[in-house]
Amino acid sequence: MISENDVIRLIKQILEGVYYLHQNNIVHLDLKPQNILLSSIYPLGDIKIVDFGMSRKLGNACELREIMGTPEYLAPEILNYDPITTATDMWNIGI
């Protein structure tokens, strides 16, 4: 069984990984359980964020508007065809 401290550590690693992407103006756009892996189950390893096939680099020149991602995990701004921001990835972490 995974302890509460282990869950805290894993969530922190996910947030740190996404923060690193966002600091480099990259949005993943397909964060979901299938794209968040563990390096090992026992002992409990570290988080690896994978599948950057839909990721995009945000730029200052124009707004990014695309309908893409796994339907069950789409953020409201994607469904509404609003500009994509780093908040789009945060929606996926929350669900």
Active-site residue set: 30
Residue whose structure tokens are 């020149």: 61
Q: What token pair was written down for 40? A: 């090992």
Distance separating alpha carbons of residues 81 and 42, to the nearest angstrom = 42
Would you say 66 and 27 are in contact if contact means Cβ atoms under 8 Å apart? no
